[in-house]
Amino acid sequence: MNQTALHRMLALKDLKDLKKVSPQNLFDLRVTTNLPLIKELFYSLYKDPKHDLYFKELLELLPSLFQTRSDELKLHDLYLLKKGNWYQSENMVGMQLYVDLFNNNLKGIEEKIPYFKTLGINFLHLMPITTRPKGENDGGYAVNSYTAVDRRFGSKKDLLSLTSKLRAEGIYLMLDFVVNHTSDEYPWAKKALQGSAKYQGYYFMYPDRTIPDAFEASLPEVFPATSPGNFTYRKEIDHWVMTVFNSYQWDLNYKNPKVFLEMLSNLVAMINSGVDVVRFDALAFLWKNIGTNSQNLPEAHMLISLFRMCLQTIAPGVIFLAEAIVAPKEIIKYFGEGNREGNECDVAYNASLMALLWNSIATKKTLLLNKTLQNSLPKPQESTWINYVRCHDDIGLGLDDHYISELGWDPWLHRKFLLDYYCQGLDWSPAVGYQFMYNPSTGDGRITGSCASLLGLEKAIRIQHTAAIEHAIQKILMLHGIILSYGGIPLIYAGDEIGTLNDYSYLDDDHKKYDSRWVNRPSHSWQTVANLKEKETPSSIIFNGLKHMISIRKKNKVFADANNTILHDPRNPHLFMFERSGKNKEGVLVLANFDEHPQILGVDVLHSLGYVKDGTLSDILSSQKRKLNSGLMEVQPYELLWLAKP
């Protein structure tokens, strides 16, 4: 049982009637129950006796931060706590969007609530909205403040108005907490640049290359093409500062407990605007040690858990999402392992599933997908995934070389093939994507492009090829149908619901043209939305198809994530098959064909799993019965079936 479940249990009686509840008493109870964990985590990171001082500071900070939370949010927290694991519900369907690109500003988002409702969206991830440097700012991931709303998006008042509307409409909100770094214009960075020793101690700053070189010996590069190395020289103070991401993003030094305390205050100030899910950005990088790659270190996990246990006492309704785009065996650790199980992040991006789906499209085979998923460790009971097809970032090929080799493929050649397939290296490929951060010395590279363009729609429209257009649409719907039915929260990238193609306008912007991720950060086309009803266009087929699948998901409890996703072997290298099973023997069998040709499935599997009645299957997606006439069932190219258990 994780701490949230424990808090729920201990508060069971009080939570019965939220009108009579005393938030203060329940806060005291949570502090008491979390304190041993908080203390242990704090002292395993901050071992020096002089750190006692900061522990005392933390003990005073918790109640004072609790007081900064509004009465309304204190109650909302308890409402969510009482609700149980709401984030695992079949009702959850999310959308990620850039506020300005979607509809100008925060007011514009409020206006579009009916749009979200039409599609069935009840969870929003708004990309960074706080102040940032004027020039390059990594799409707002270089923060000048954790709370001040950037003027282009509106005001604090607009944000509060939006979050209160969202709460009233039952729409959950996720915002980023850029926990690993600030911009070089952040007040602490500015003071450090003016020579303040205190604030220089908030970052990793060195007067010469000795320590930077020692770090570099084992640090990989995140943006090798545009921001090589992990340190930036600042002539103002003749120092080197650690900048793992871009040169203007300064890594925070959490070895300094003061940084943790201040960032905890920043976190609470941020969620006090009405945030339900905190996207803990780049959290794999939080702790740095010379001689390591400074990613996924045990101390990073302790630190995240420390943040989590503290925040939980203050705002028990708010949950954490791990933004760790790392190998499958590392991702799972962000839910918390061993005695921290369930006490780190509640949700994590399922980057493995995402990368494996793209791998399956390119190879038309599901072997690596099945092999990797079959061998993945189970996640804790209370946690869930965010399943996604595309997001604002590149597609990293986080595939396991060991499994690639076991399939008889050469890992290096396989990765090269994927890059060529998606990034226009092969004439016959339908994809129109771009390389991101290609590193010629290692051959490593990542892929960028919009979902529709990577799946062939852009090229098919360009050459006016009806069958290719149909295939692209089927692939878009099939991948989204998989993330909508696999256990977890499906997160649709805004624009993908109307088949948005690559956007090349970023090439005209000096601050963006070096970052090809912008090709998939288009302005939302409200003109396309206005035309959805008019005629059968690729956009309307995609939109209506998604809307239909979302409504079916919401009607079927088996789609809730109760760790009830079971993979089955389809005995056909092109098919993907998994089952969602319910408590009362109900079930849905999801079947997808990644090949451009029809594929067959042995009917015996369907019989043994109990999906055949009177020689027929029932597909809830098409509302059609399918008669089985032989021992083999045919699955059409890129077909997706959601078969209901009779």
**CA dihedral sign of residues 267, 268, 274, 280:** positive
DSSP class of residue 291?
T
From the CB of 141, what's the least distance to ligand GLC, in Å?
Answer: 3
136 vs 158, beta carbon nearer ligand GLC: 136
**Contact criterion met (CB below 8 Å) for 148 and 131:** yes
φ, ψ at 605 (rounded to 5°): -60, -45
**Contact criterion met (CB below 8 Å) for 277 and 94:** no
4 vs 247, beta carbon nearer ligand GLC: 247
390 vs 471, beta carbon nearer ligand GLC: 390
CA–CA gap between residue 444 and residue 435 (Å, rounded): 10
Which tokens is 531 given?
């035309």
Which tokens is 62 given?
């918790």
Which tokens is 600 given?
């067959």
95 vs 617, beta carbon nearer ligand GLC: 95
How does DSSP assign 20-62, residue by residue? T--HHHHHHHHHHHHHHHHHHHHHHH--SGGGHHHHHHHHHHH
From the CB of 608, what's the least distance to ligand GLC, in Å?
Answer: 43
From the CB of 466, what's the least distance to ligand GLC, in Å?
Answer: 37
From the CB of 138, what's the least distance to ligand GLC, in Å?
Answer: 5
Per-residue b/e over 82-111, b at no fewer than 16 CB within 10 Å?
A: beebbbbbbbbbbbbbbbbbbbbbbbbbbe
User: What are the strands, taking DSSP E only, across 319-478?
Assistant: 319-322, 347-349, 384-388, 434-439, 444-448
Would residue 323 show up in a list of annotated catalytic residues for this protein? yes
- Single-letter amino acid code for the residue at 125: H
CA 604 to chain centre: 37
**Contact criterion met (CB below 8 Å) for 334 and 345:** yes
Which tokens is 399 given?
């595939």
Q: Which one of 77, 138, 150, 323 is the catalytic residue?
A: 323
Residues 6 or more apart in contact with residue 329 via CB below 8 angstroms = 377
From the CB of 32, what's the least distance to ligand GLC, in Å?
Answer: 36
- Single-letter amino acid code for the residue at 163: T
Cβ neighbours, 10 Å, residue 283: 28
DSSP class of residue 112?
T
491 vs 575, beta carbon nearer ligand GLC: 491
From the CB of 511, what's the least distance to ligand GLC, in Å?
Answer: 14
In the chain, count H helices and then E strands: 25, 23
**Contact criterion met (CB below 8 Å) for 127 and 98:** yes
Which tokens is 35 given?
């304190």
From the CB of 176, what's the least distance to ligand GLC, in Å?
Answer: 8
Would residue 344 show up in a list of annotated catalytic residues for this protein? no
From the CB of 407, what's the least distance to ligand GLC, in Å?
Answer: 29
281 vs 639, beta carbon nearer ligand GLC: 281
125 vs 459, beta carbon nearer ligand GLC: 125
CA–CA gap between residue 92 and residue 484 (Å, rounded): 10
How does DSSP assign 86-105, residue by residue? GGGSTT--EEEE-HHHHHSS
Reduced to 3 states (helix: H, G, I; strand: E, B; else coil), residue 457 is helix
Determine whether 407 is exposed, middle or buried from the number of CB atoms within 10 Å of its CB (0-12, 13-18, 19+). Answer: middle
252 vs 418, beta carbon nearer ligand GLC: 252
**Contact criterion met (CB below 8 Å) for 430 and 460:** yes
User: What are the strands, taking DSSP E only, across 295-372?
Assistant: 319-322, 347-349
Q: Which residue is nearest to ligand GLC (CB)?
A: 141
231 vs 594, beta carbon nearer ligand GLC: 231
Cβ neighbours, 10 Å, residue 555: 11
- Single-letter amino acid code for the residue at 418: L
Q: Which one of 100, 150, 281, 346 is the catalytic residue?
A: 281
Per-residue b/e over 170-194, b at no fewer than 16 CB within 10 Å?
A: ebbbbbbbbbbbbbbbbebbeebbe
From the CB of 217, what's the least distance to ligand GLC, in Å?
Answer: 23
45 vs 324, beta carbon nearer ligand GLC: 324
139 vs 488, beta carbon nearer ligand GLC: 139
Interface residues with ligand GLC (CB under 6 A) are 138-139, 141, 178, 245, 281-282, 323, 392-393
28 vs 393, beta carbon nearer ligand GLC: 393
From the CB of 388, what's the least distance to ligand GLC, in Å?
Answer: 12
From the CB of 323, what's the least distance to ligand GLC, in Å?
Answer: 6
CA–CA gap between residue 85 and residue 561 (Å, rounded): 9
φ, ψ at 618 (rounded to 5°): -120, 115
Which tokens is 76 given?
């909302």
From the CB of 441, what's the least distance to ligand GLC, in Å?
Answer: 22
Active-site residues: which are they? 281, 323
